[in-house]
Amino acid sequence: EIVLTQSPATLSLSPGERATLSCRASQSVSTYLAWYQQKPGQAPRLVIYDASNRATGIPARFSGSGSGTDFTLTISSLEPEDFAVYYCQQRSNWPPLTFGGGTKVEIK
């Protein structure tokens, strides 16, 4: 089973700042990595797929990069609606499909 480790667990930032979230895989997942955003009481929402492709309707301030075992989700300038929990997910070697433990982006 591929284990995904996300860091940091919590990121405290102000609106307008840049957010950099990390996801590390226990073995290579090529570029088969997705990122999801989840707000309290809501279902997750797809943000990035295949490491760097923005999902439909996702603003350009969101970008993804990486390959192999190290991946980054960057939010170039945080908007108030971006404060949420972000999860990474791999589809390279499954079952099982696995998610990271999440990074909470909170308002400083």
Partner 1 sequence: EVQLVESGGSLVQPGGSLRLSCAASGFTLSSYNMNWVRQAPGKGLEWVSYITSSATTVYYADSVKGRFTISRDNAKNSLYLQMNSLRAEDTAVYYCARDMGFGVIFDYWGQGALVTVSS
Any contact of residue 99 with partner 1 (CB under 8 A)? yes
| Cβ proximity to partner 1, 66 vs 98, nearer residue | 98
Beta strands in 1-108 (DSSP E): 4-7, 10-13, 19-25, 33-38, 45-49, 53-54, 62-67, 70-75, 85-90, 98-99, 103-107
Nearest-approach distance from CB 78 to partner 1, in angstroms: 22
Any contact of residue 54 with partner 1 (CB under 8 A)? no
What character string, x for contact with partner 1 (CB under 8 A) and - otherwise, covers 10-39? ----------------------x-x-x-x-
Contacts of 54 (CB under 8 A, 6+ apart): 47, 48, 60, 62, 63, 64
Nearest-approach distance from CB 24 to partner 1, in angstroms: 15
Any contact of residue 58 with partner 1 (CB under 8 A)? no
Question: What is the binding site for partner 1 (CB under 8 A)?
Answer: 32, 34, 36, 38, 42-46, 49-50, 55-56, 87, 89, 91, 94-102
